[in-house]
């Protein structure tokens, strides 16, 4: 709720399209809103006139009454198409300003590279607020392709999702490697034969490291599918580079490390040293991006914009270059290999999370003194967000209380799955937090207040499955999966485990 209010204030939005359940938060944070349109409710004329803050309240009947002809437009290529917020290291999210020419360059590349046309079928299976989904959302609008939307609740059921992809004859699928890993391994856990898929489906992967085992597991059943690794920060309009993943004569991927490839049309990739000189092949440096995809900067943050968006020293024109903060190197074959971050930013399930923003939010809790946020593997080996903290009292704070506190300030994907109390934050000789010196994660086995133990064999088995996924802890019948650190991917694994039993 706090984050929504901040986004509305910072953006200065005048019109808001939302749902009734978000209305209170919208009116609380959006003092400059002129109109709020509830897409899931009709609002009578009387209700619309009864607004006390000068904000008109309208309903879906307004949307339904609009003409279905193509609207005119007065927007130019340098006008803003959208603003999407990313995690901020100082504690507040940053609004990335994307112009029409930025996003259109990416969408035209998608249409051309994947040869999209009226016979193509695309699927929206992740949050539409996630910029990775823009290819699925908007490419159909310029190609005549069809977009199929799966309800958010149903995307958590692996079998339902696989059947959806099969039934809708999806030809282009856009998912994170974590999501893809669940789809690829699902048949090993479910009593399912390989479902029929379009023979030459293209699968766009990006935002995380890709595991070769997942690729080969999928290709074993769908040898005609093309797998493409895409890379790009929000500040460079969704994707800046791509790499079609090659297979050998046996239709298997041999590469241990999947590179991020080369630049998309009208984009440029540079790997520079500390003096902004181009690095030789094989030498690690900072990855910078130039070209049409570079955003206009951060809304209302001129100093941060000046640090990250700089004149392109390698271009003949006055174009800008974005400093990603990512480390990379040029391989002998001319492709670029991603090597990680130069700072404390975290890539998790396709999201770029500034650990500093999570730490700042956690320190605002009255019982928390210091905090450090990083990733550690969960029980399945997948990365999860973990917070180490010291308290003002010297005693641990209930994890459920911390999770609920952060839930008011941060989106769900930024709330740590695990909180661990420590006596002090370890530091290096330079006085900075030393992530390598943090202790191993110890899952809290103590039951939550009001704990009620499982009452029969069925509840005991279900509780043990929860413990497998969430860590070795006492699971009670009043506990909530999400409040114990569950997320959408763990929920998908949970359903798979249920069906195994």
Note whether 206 and 231 are within 8 A (CB). Answer: yes
In angstroms, the CA 373 to CA 406 distance is 13
User: Residue 74, class by beta-carbon neighbours within 10 Å (0-12 exposed, 13-18 middle, 19+ buried)?
Assistant: exposed
- In terms of Cα–Cα distance, which of 228, 115, 215, 121 is closest to 165? 121
Which pLDDT score is estimated for 448?
58
pLDDT tens-digit readout, 119-131: 999 999 887 877 8
Under 8 Å CB-to-CB from 68, ≥6 apart: which residues?
Answer: none
pLDDT per residue as tens digits for the range 188-200: 666 677 789 998 9
- Tell me: do 228 and 92 sit in the same domain: yes
Residues 26 and 149 in one domain: no
Distance, in Å, from the CA atom of 342 to the CA atom of 455, rounded to the nearest integer, reads 50
Distance CA 84, CA 7 (A): 10
Contact call for residues 294 and 235 (beta carbons, < 8 A): yes
Q: Is residue 144 part of a domain?
A: yes
Q: Which of 259, 288, 304 is the last residue of a domain?
A: 259
- For residue 63, the surrounding DSSP H or E stretch is helix 60-64
CA 269, 270, 271: angle at the middle one, nearest 5?
130
Residue 55 shares a structural domain with residue 173? no
Check pLDDT > 80 for residue 486. no
Q: Are residues 337 and 352 in the same domain?
A: no
Residue 46 confidence (pLDDT) above 50: no
Which domain range does residue 495 map to? 457-500
In tens, the pLDDT along 301-354 reads 999 999 999 999 999 888 999 999 898 899 989 999 988 777 667 777 767 787
Distance, CA of 55 to CA of 413 (rounded, Å)? 31
Task: Single out the residue in 38, 64, 90 at which a domain terminates.
Answer: 64
SS (H, E, C) 143-174: HCCEEEECCHHHHHCHHHHHHHHHHCCCCEEE
Residue 334 and residue 192 share a domain:
no
Q: What is the distance, to the nearest Å, from the Cα of residue 362 to the centroid of all Cα atoms in its chain?
A: 21
Cα separation, 235 vs 43, whole angstroms: 38
> Is residue 442 assigned to a domain?
no
For residue 291, the domain's CATH number is 2.30.38.10
Domain membership flag for residue 71: no
Q: Is the pLDDT of residue 146 over 90?
A: yes
Please indicate, yes or no, if residue 447 is contained in any of the structural domains: no
**419 shares its domain with 362:** yes
Same domain, 188 and 212: yes
Confidence of residue 282 (pLDDT cuts 50, 70, 90): confident
pTM: 0.74
Instruction: For residues 196 and 294, state if they share a domain.
Output: no
CATH number at residue 467: 1.10.1200.10
Residues 163 and 286 in one domain: no
Domain count, the chain: 5
57 and 16 together in one domain: yes
The per-residue pLDDT for 430 is 53
Q: Cα dist. 462→120, 191, 501 in Å?
A: 41, 20, 9
Does residue 335 sit in the same domain as residue 354? Answer: no
Whole-angstrom distance, CA of residue 474 vs CA of residue 114: 49
Enumerate the β-bridge partners of residue 297: 97
Assess whether pLDDT exceeds 80 at residue 449.
no
Domain stop point among 218, 240, 259: 259
Residue 448 falls inside a structural domain:
no
**For residues 104 and 88, what is the distance between their CA atoms, to the nearest angstrom?**
26
Asked whether residue 70 is assigned to any structural domain, the reply reads: no
Section 464-471 average pLDDT: 76
Mark whether 218 and 97 lie in a shared domain. Answer: yes
Residue 141 lies in a domain: yes
Cβ partners under 8 Å of residue 455, min gap 6: 477
The predicted pLDDT at position 77 comes to 95
pLDDT of 181 above 60? yes
Let me know if residue 415 belongs to a domain.
yes
Distance CA 87, CA 385 (A): 14
Q: CB of 343 within 8 A of CB of 325?
A: yes
């Amino acid at each position: 709720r706090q984050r929504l209010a901040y986004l509305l204030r910072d953006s200065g939005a005048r019109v808001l399209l939302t749902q009734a359940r978000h209305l209170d938060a919208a009116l609380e944070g959006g003092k400059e809103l002129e109109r709020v349109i509830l897409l899931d409710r009709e609002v009578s004329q009387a209700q619309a006139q009864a607004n006390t803050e000068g904000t008109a309240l309208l309903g879906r009947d307004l949307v339904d009454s609009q003409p279905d002809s193509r609207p005119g437009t007065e927007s130019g290529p340098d006008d803003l198409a959208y603003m999407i917020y990313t995690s901020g290291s100082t504690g507040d999210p940053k609004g990335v300003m994307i112009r029409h020419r930025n996003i259109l360059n990416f969408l035209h590349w998608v249409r051309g590279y994947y040869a999209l046309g009226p016979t193509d079928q695309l699927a929206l299976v992740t949050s539409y607020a996630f910029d990775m989904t823009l290819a699925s959302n908007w490419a159909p609008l310029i190609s005549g392709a069809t977009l199929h939307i799966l309800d958010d609740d149903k995307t958590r059921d692996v079998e339902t999702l696989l059947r959806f992809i099969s039934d809708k004859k999806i030809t282009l699928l856009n998912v994170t490697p974590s999501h893809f890993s669940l789809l690829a391994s699902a048949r090993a856990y479910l009593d399912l034969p390989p479902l029929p898929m379009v023979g030459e489906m293209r699968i766009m992967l990006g935002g995380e490291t890709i595991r070769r085992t997942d690729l080969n597991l999928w290709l074993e059943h769908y040898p005609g599918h093309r797998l493409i690794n895409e890379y790009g920060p929000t500040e460079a309009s969704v994707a800046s580079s791509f790499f079609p993943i090659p297979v050998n004569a046996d239709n298997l991927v041999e590469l241990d490390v999947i590179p991020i490839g080369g630049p998309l049309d009208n984009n440029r990739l540079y790997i520079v040293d500390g003096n902004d000189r181009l690095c030789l092949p094989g030498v690690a440096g900072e990855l910078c991006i130039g070209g049409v995809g570079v955003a206009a900067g951060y809304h209302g943050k001129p100093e941060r914009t000046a640090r990250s968006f700089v004149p392109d020293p390698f271009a003949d024109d006055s174009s800008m270059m974005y400093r990603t903060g990512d480390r990379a190197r040029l391989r002998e074959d001319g492709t670029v290999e991603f090597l990680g971050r130069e700072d404390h930013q975290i890539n998790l399930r396709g999201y770029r999370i500034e650990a500093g923003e999570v730490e700042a939010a956690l320190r605002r809790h009255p019982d928390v003194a210091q905090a450090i946020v990083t990733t550690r593997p969960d029980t399945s080996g997948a990365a999860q967000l973990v917070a180490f903290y010291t308290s003002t009292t010297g005693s641990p704070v209930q994890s459920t209380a911390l999770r609920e506190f952060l839930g008011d300030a941060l989106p769900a994907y930024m709330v740590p799955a695990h909180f661990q109390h420590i006596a002090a934050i370890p530091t290096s000789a330079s006085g900075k937090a030393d992530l390598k010196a943090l202790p191993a994660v110890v899952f809290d086995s103590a039951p939550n207040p009001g704990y009620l133990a499982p009452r029969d064999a069925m509840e005991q088995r279900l509780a043990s499955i929860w413990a497998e996924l969430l860590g070795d802890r006492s699971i009670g019948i009043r506990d909530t999966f999400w409040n114990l650190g569950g997320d959408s991917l763990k929920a998908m694994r949970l359903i798979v485990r249920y069906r195994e039993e």
